[in-house]
Amino acid sequence: MKEEQSIRKSSATTIIVMVCTLLSRILGFVRVAVITAFFGASGKADVINLTFAIPNNLRKLLAEGALSSAFIPVLSESIIDNGTKSSRTRNLVRSLLTFQLLILIPLIVISILAAKPLVTHVLTQFDDPEQVAQAVPLFKFFINYLLLISVSALMIGVLNSTGHFFIPAVTPLLFSISVILSIIFLTDAFGIYSMAIGVLIGGLLQIIFQFPLFKKTGFDFKLSFSFSDPYFKKIVKHWLPVLATSGVFTINQQIAFLLATGLEKGSTSALSNALVFWQLPFGIFSASITTVLFPRMSRQAAAGNQEGLKESINVGLRMLFSLLVPSAIVLGLFSRIIISVALQRGLFTADNTIMTSYVLTGYVFGLFSVGAFNFIQRYFYAIKDFRIPFYVSVFVCTLDITLSIILKNTSLRVAGLAAANSISFTAGFIVLYLLARKKLGSLFTRKFFSTMGKVVISVIPSTVLSFFVLKAAGESWRTGPDLASLVYVFLIFAVWIIPTLVMYKLLNVEVISFLLRRNKKNV
């Protein structure tokens, strides 16, 4: 009964997070469309995408990635032991904020002082001297975003751990709005630096927006050097191996961008733009499910609730398969039309659409694998086992880099980097699943295989209808966004959403009941 009520609450929260994430991703598309319209998909755009990717990847180490993964389970433990508004829990957050500042401020200062050698010899392979000249000062601006997003991520982790999801989910909207408006209104005056202004203002707005609820929940920005607290020591103890794990993936992604800078112009932007489309379903579904269930799994692990923990993982995997597999098929089949409508305007050409679609196709094959990999990884973090995720991540990234080097020199070129990523994460997911199975028993129960079969059957009608839409659309995507292409995009979603939902309902695919549980009475 109690477990069922918990699942109901998680269902309602997941819907809220998904809706907010959808709005955020839509604004993310608008942001990318504005960037490509003003700066194209090569040259200046490559510089912007590469230099912004550096602090954006580092935040995974020092913000919502590694630190949150180590922080949330321990904070959940402190809340269970001492209460949300206890002085000990508040002081733990203060100590963590202080710890962040002690690491980030010197790192940012060093990065600014050493920007030129870092950009020219370590982070890029640009042959064009003009691109190098633009990248160095832009990097100096962007690196400051790391401090802002790290503080914001700490606040998000605290609010999520205390059961608040709406405000943290809305927060990213402010970032995209800031960047969009900055580029539109400031590009004439500041050129590519308009992006940097928008990024820094957006980062600051995320902190300001969350602060009232953060304070109301009982927390503040006071500094504390109580690094001897057992809870804090536990966070640092956990953070170091998670940092190592996230560091492997961050280095891996940075290497992908580095390899892309050595290919044809536009390759870096194609990689970055394809990731934006790939992250739409990943962010809405995978990240939302993980965001909601990870704190819950952490509490279950802290309370020793093995059955509840296993059920949370089972539910998560079934939801991921039901939502990500249809998403991957849609992106794979209609990549050119979708990219064309979203981005093909201004300096973004049909050739840019083709290159981006090839990269996106390489990524979509691993959509479910990456989602499931990240989700099961959180199980190990919840039970405070950080060794297994680290070793598996080393395996995944070694395989990814090896395959990337091989495939980029084939006819695939930049799309080979995406294909290597999908293959590697699929292998990593299989390994991580087998190791999790040793601890909990089979996670692919009869329920999972039943869900998998129903999903496969459910997408058949939509897949068949898709080929008629593709035949009717023909090469219309080459002209960019016009009335005809907008109609085809509408048809794409119509032939997928409506038939798939009908089939899900007829076959009783669990994702429907999961997301609608909030409407049921608590009986």
User: Comparing 435 with 476, which gets the higher pLDDT?
Assistant: 435
Length of the chain as a residue count: 523
Joined tokens for residue 476: 């219309």
Q: How far apart are CA 270 and CA 265, in angstroms?
A: 9
Kindly report the three-state secondary structure assignment for every residue of 51-114: HHHHHHHHHHHHCCCHHHHHHHHHHHHHHHHHCCCCHHHHHHHHHHHHHHHHHHHHHHHHHHHC
Write down the pLDDT at residue 151.
Answer: 92
For residue 20, pLDDT over 70 is answered with: yes
Q: How many CB atoms are closer than 10 A to CB 177?
A: 17
Q: Say if residue 297's pLDDT is above 80.
A: yes
User: 0.75 cut: is pTM over it?
Assistant: no
Is there a contact between 3 and 308 (Cβ–Cβ < 8 Å)? yes
Whole-number percent of the chain with pLDDT over 90: 38
* pLDDT reported for residue 518: 42
Q: Which helix (H) or strand (E) holds 212?
A: helix 193-216
What pLDDT does 428 receive? 94
Q: Which residue has the tokens 């309370």?
A: 303
Q: What is the pLDDT of residues 172-194, one digit of tens each?
A: 899 989 999 999 999 999 988 99
279 to 284, 327, 428: CA distances (angstroms): 8, 11, 19
pLDDT of residue 252: 79
pLDDT for res 357:
95
Q: Would you list the DSSP string of 380-425? A: HHHTT--HHHHHHHHHHHHHHHHHHHHHTTSTTTHHHHHHHHHHHH
> What would the pLDDT profile of 460-502 be if each residue is shown by its tens digit?
999 999 989 888 888 888 887 887 888 888 888 888 989 999 9
Q: What is the mean pLDDT of residues 235-250?
A: 76
**pLDDT class of 446 with cuts at 50, 70, 90:** confident
- State the pLDDT at residue 12: 62
pLDDT at 519: 39
- Which pLDDT score is estimated for 520? 42
Give whole-number Cα distances, 419 to 98, 358, 495, 506, in Å. Answer: 41, 10, 27, 35
Q: How confident is the model at residue 523 (pLDDT cuts 50, 70, 90)?
A: very low
Q: Say which amino acid occupies 269.
A: S
CA 41, 47, 48, 50 dihedral sign is positive
User: Is the Cβ–Cβ distance between 40 and 346 less than 8 Å?
Assistant: yes
Token readout for 45 is 């755009």
User: Could you tell me how far CA 282 lies from the centroid of its own chain?
Assistant: 7
Residue 515's pLDDT band, with cuts at 50, 70 and 90, is low
| pLDDT tens profile 282-294 | 878 887 788 778 8
| CA-only gyration radius of the chain, Å | 23
Burial 335-361 (b: 16+ CB within 10 A, else e): bbbbbbbbbbebebbeebbbbbbbbbb
CA distance 189 to 191: 6
